Amino acid sequence: MPSIPSQIFDRVWVPDWEINPETFEQVLELAVEIAREGREGRKVGTIFSIGDSEAVLEASRCLILDPLAGHSDEVRHVSDHNLRETIKELAQLDGAFVVSDDGVVISAARYFSTDAEGIDVPLGLGARHIAGASVSCKTRAVAVVVSQSSIVRIFDDGHLVTEILPELWMLQIHGMIVHEDSVEKISEGEFTVVRRTD
């Protein structure tokens, strides 16, 4: 998958975030791949938290024995092709991934404790989105949620900031809907960003 052009990345990236932009871009690309491809012919949903990993670990627990525990940081870096394929397999399990600011996937198959107080999730989104919004509200992490309906949503401070429509990427009209105050369409190559008023 091509990396996100800088003009498009600048429309998705929020400058106030306390996370590494390179790590965010790598996780975003992986999330879009999972949403677009699924696994074994099935749609897959999952959550990635990025940054503030110690606080995220405290606000979560393992659902099963952690399949990534004991492996070196080098093989758990989100840029490693083998790890990316492993994550696609593990995404079939229930639970979330905790990604450190420097791009190491610290833990997999985690349950995020949820609290609806302080979060703003649109009606119709389920428990996975509430968990992502909740962890982004309780910590300084940003949550990237892949829904089984093949949409990637990004939460910060308990609020939905971006929706990405990967099926349009598959048609090589890469589409992103960013929740902003104005409507604007920006295209560069195969990528298209549409800004709209909520």
Q: Residue ranges per domain, the chain?
A: 6-165
Neighbours of 79 (CB within 10 A): 12
> Across residues 2-16, what is the average pLDDT?
70
Neighbours of 126 (CB within 10 A): 13
Per-residue pLDDT, 173? 37
Q: How far apart are alpha carbons 185 and 166 in whole angstroms? A: 17
pLDDT score of 198 more than 50: no
pLDDT score of 3 more than 70: no
Output the furthest CA–CA distance in the chain (Å, rounded): 47
What confidence category does residue 187 fall into, taking pLDDT thresholds of 50, 70 and 90? low
Q: Which of 52-56, 62-66, 96-100, 116-120 has the lowest mean pLDDT?
A: 116-120
Q: What is each CA distance from 165 to 158, 177, 178, in whole angstroms?
A: 21, 7, 11
> Across residues 171-189, what is the average pLDDT?
48
> Across residues 11-33, what is the average pLDDT?
88
Q: Which of 17-21, 23-27, 42-46, 113-117 has the lowest mean pLDDT?
A: 113-117
For residue 37, the cross-strand partners are none
Name the DSSP class of 188.
Answer: E
> Across residues 47-74, what is the average pLDDT?
94
Q: Count CA within 13 A, CB hemisphere, residue 190.
A: 12
CATH superfamily of the 6-165 domain = DNA integrity scanning protein, DisA, N-terminal domain (3.40.1700.10)
> Across residues 101-117, what is the average pLDDT?
90
pLDDT score of 105 more than 80: yes
Per-residue pLDDT, 167? 65
What confidence category does residue 90 fall into, taking pLDDT thresholds of 50, 70 and 90? very high
Per-residue pLDDT, 192? 53
Mean pLDDT, rounded, of the chain: 83
pLDDT score of 180 more than 70: no
Q: How far apart are alpha carbons 184 and 175 in whole angstroms? A: 13
